[in-house]
Structure 1
Amino acid sequence: MDDIDSKILGLLRENGRITFGALGSMVGLSTNAAAARVRKLERSGVILGYRAVIADDAPDARLHGVGLEAFIDVRLRPDSDSDAFLAFVEDLSPVRDAVHVTGPYDYLLHVVVGDTEHLDALLRRLKTEAGAAQTQTRLALRVPR
């Protein structure tokens, strides 16, 4: 892999639907050469696939005006298993990060949800399905980018 391949990967990360023509012109290749490079990256396993990123699932959903970014402190019930909790929250699409912390709470979750209704549903799931005894939520008002 060379610098051109790296540039191609960066452009595909930003826009997986970019045309080979546009991709080629941005990295200094012809349409056919850009297509050949992408196919080579796919065959070699560097590019595993393409997917749609839905606004509510995007880490930068707030930038699109469709999400709330929040931080949730979670205290587990005494009978809850920490590893089971972590496995549960890692499978939830709104959860961007989950860290085990010291202090009065067990975990700090960084989440991005569509709106307060989605946040409420997430908090309910944490308490009814994941073993959370108590939560404290803080909304991000401004996020430096």
Structure 2
Amino acid sequence: MSNEFEQISLTQGFMKHNGGVLFRNISETEYEFKSTINENHLNAAGITHGGYLSALIDAGAGTAAHRSAGNAPCVTISLDIKFIGASKVGDEVIGHTKILKKTNTLIFLFCELKCNNKIITSATGVWKILKVKPSNLGPGG
């Protein structure tokens, strides 16, 4: 299991458009991800927009759910987010995700974002593991 960060925003989409997300596996139940705050991530108050932090958690924790489900596709059922602190342009925001419980169809997790070693956001979430039929995979699937 590699402990190096890798870019997970490889295809066109929301997170790639917004600067991408770097991700790494720590163990079978712990994962980290990070992103650097850019001007386009700010709100009118000059701090990182809560919507961006929410999207970052959804992408990072969602990737953790995906990896912990043996790379099966997963979708967010619920995401409860608490905004505790702030970040600004140039800050590196690091997310840490812990898988709390995994069933055959659901993954329960906890995630927190840190900036300058302080927690700025915490979240709990539930992801659904999709059971994809081989005929739904498409070409090369």
For the aligned pair, the TM-score class normalised by the smaller chain equals: under 0.3
TM-score normalised by the chain length of structure 1: 0.24
Report which of the two has the higher share of strand.
2
TM-score normalised by the chain length of structure 2: 0.24
Report which of the two has the higher share of helix.
1
Which structure's CA Rg is the greater one?
Answer: 1
